[in-house]
Amino acid sequence: MKTAFPGEFEQMVLLSILQLGDDGFALSVLRELDRRAGRRVSRGALYKTLERLEEKGLVEWEVEQATPDRGGHPRRRFSVTHEGITALQASRDALFQLWQGLEGVLGKPSS
Amino acid sequence: MKTAFPGEFEQMVLLSILQLGDDGFALSVLRELDRRAGRRVSRGALYKTLERLEEKGLVEWEVEQATPDRGGHPRRRFSVTHEGITALQASRDALFQLWQGLEGVLGKPSS
DNA sequence: GCATCGATGTAGACATTGCCGACAACGGGG
DNA sequence: CCCCGTTGTCGGCAATGTCTACATCGATGC
């Protein structure tokens, strides 16, 4: 069992894709990361990460079917695989365990 | 302002130190990581990480004062700096934002 | 038609993090 | 003295994070 833990940024990318639902296009992910987490990275950085996530089987994608008006390369719609979900749950649970009881030190999450 | 985000493992190490309070010795951190997050790494891996966290000013340490009976090198007691706390809060908040509304997909944390 | 713009994606590079095994140092007990 | 348990240090390599530069292709405006 290969337990390669997703990195910090990889997790964020996975979560962004989930948030976007059927709008999981690369540039949407970029905007979502900025909106939610205030994280701004270049497109190249994101594509590289998506490529690695795919190699690990945590995301998959399909080419958007028939969009006759838009120019540029055909865009890809990313989605998180079942394995990706599992990995996210594991990471989250680990963090929760480590956060337990530290509210006094860290304060409440600023929602 | 250099915004170098702590990596996934670095966060866990910081949290473990906080959990341990005045028992923040390297090998205790190792045990805590295993107990809470099920994460087992070699001592070398941990020391390297602690060293980097110190360079970034996220942890500091003091040599344990006067323990006349124990063998080996004098051990160091690690603690998280104010900057470390701030970094942890930022990471946590970012993740919370990304988790918002995904309970349906990810399920409740298994506490 | 041609220069450009906007939305995508790819390639190549390099810095930072994650992780390990091997070795050193020291006190205690055979 | 040799070995054991506890720490810590080193050097190296793999994985992740991130950027810049470049390539594609429709639409738009000369």
* pLDDT tens digits for range A8-51: 999 999 999 999 999 999 999 999 999 999 999 999 999 999 99
The answer to whether residue B108 scores a pLDDT higher than 80 is: no
CA–C1' B67–D18 (A)? 46
Please calculate the CA angle A111-A8-B29 and round it to the nearest 5 degrees: 95
Instruction: Write the pLDDT tens digit of every residue in A69-80.
Output: 777 789 999 999
Closest nucleotide C1' to the C-alpha of B26: D7
CA–C1' A28–D16 (A)? 22
Interchain CB distance below 8 Å, A89 and B106: yes
Closest nucleotide C1' to the C-alpha of B52: C17
Q: A23 vs chain B: nearest CA distance in angstroms?
A: 15
Judge whether A80 and A58 are in contact, CB under 8 Å: yes
Judge whether B79 and B24 are in contact, CB under 8 Å: yes
- Supply the pTM of this predicted model: 0.94
Which residue pairs, CB below 8 angstroms and at least 24 apart, start in A101-109? A101/B19, A102/B15, A102/B18, A102/B19, A105/B18, A105/B85, A106/B18, A106/B85, A106/B88, A106/B89, A106/B92, A107/B89, A109/B92, A109/B93, A109/B96
Determine the number of helices (DSSP H) and then strands (DSSP E) in chain B: 5, 2
Instruction: Write the pLDDT tens digit of every residue in B17-64.
Output: 999 999 999 999 999 999 999 999 999 999 999 999 999 999 999 998
